[in-house]
Chain A
């Protein structure tokens, strides 16, 4: 595919409380063994995109460790390249640290790429898509920009603060709005765009000249009349991880194999970094039901309707229910967790009971000992 892949970062509205303090959304652990960025990156490499720029707003450590050279995503290191890019100068305020400023600072890498097209997408939307089909449609429709969107009837609860689209009968975008959760049915922009590299570079410069606080989506909104912007609908599973509640709910619903099957397709593998953990041990007297369990776990207690990541210990007498336990955490004897998100390497030892809800799961900090 003749396109440069650009994985953009999410705007400042999307914040996952707790987890977000330690890593950007793309680096968050997901469904036991993945990171959120695995989905968009696998979409790109499965589509044959071999040059990928990953823009990182802050805290790049996690992403560097997870992405490496990209060979585990099938990027041929000789032919293509995965670059992790960030604004190397410091920004006087987080509001200046927007995608446009980062694109400008790394413009030499965008300009020197030989591909005529760009595919730009953030990682906090989760879905499976073959970008070849999008590019094909983009060329056929002679659009300047093609935007991926999803149609939702749950806009009151989901995709809050996301961009919305209005389109004419030819799917030409006539209006960009915001989802303020006031109506049920909305077309939600996935902030994923296909266009020529030339136009992308023009728009980036135009955005920077207009306002130093402009995001790329702001300049697109301003250009809705001058440019032919068309929508491309994704019909399958789409979720946006822009809050702790959405992080929690999306993980939880994927415990259902039929839901998981709509995201994980047999001919469309989702790649991730391997950890070479051994299989998990389910001891005598343990009980596990309705759960997703990664490798390297030691389970002596009871687990119901939960997601247990790599190298987690659930001790005897512990009861983990409707919870997400991130890698390397330790749940001590007789601890009871209900609707809890436990961050990496936390130790739950003295506290014997934690109870949250679907909308407000309890969050236990990274490396915390409680």
Chain B
């Protein structure tokens, strides 16, 4: 039997259906107007250089936890992904569990920021945000939730400032940067990072976008658009898709010196695993993290493979270490309907119990 049996009448029907949806979808795209994102009301409470620290307004009906929660996002892409739309918002979910949520927006570094180092980000910006929150609330310690690279930053911060962190949550955070299935890691092993940073100053967001799209080029730059036609005939879905599309390509440049150190120390030398991580003058000893740790990873994560995150188990000095596996991808863990029901409530519950 020959395995292709596409009946002409069915093919014509399929093509027409595609065409009809595409036509309607185009109209919806034209009508989409401005794409808003970042839906939960928030206030800027602290600014420094291009950084803005936001505090989200808590819902009146929810009893507030005493210890505030600081969300440390990655330098890659923009943090509004955590609050991308009304029914897909990690932030909203956290607020609903009573967390007093703060979030660092790193802004868009330009060439004047190219000399910023990991030390500036971790012992500088993050530490001053933490101090601001501590003083505002009159508490010694805050809860920290680090996302992706922000999770790696949070690990370093918690190891260097254990006296200021009550609970640490890491989400899709790379710890072992050299697991065999880590494509990004394989790709940068032969890249002369010094040459790149010396040449470019900051590393352009376009270069990172290209790398991320190259992880699954046919699905991410091709098939996705064909599949989307099925949804484009519904105006709200078309708008949601555009919103996500905008986020995907909204990539800030990376401050050169930080990029240099992060890629060399972590992607090329696997500093957490080899115990060689340093921030400024100080070595990073993950055993100094003695607070409770919740490590959340995504089982279908093609950017940070599950094993890259699970490597955290046993590396910290915490006696209260919990793992949570989410059946989804690197982004789905924030924006999927399933994540709204499973991930954020679990984080809130875990924090509230500690």
Are A and B a genuine interacting pair, yes or no? Answer: no
Mark B residues whose CB is within 8 Å of A. none
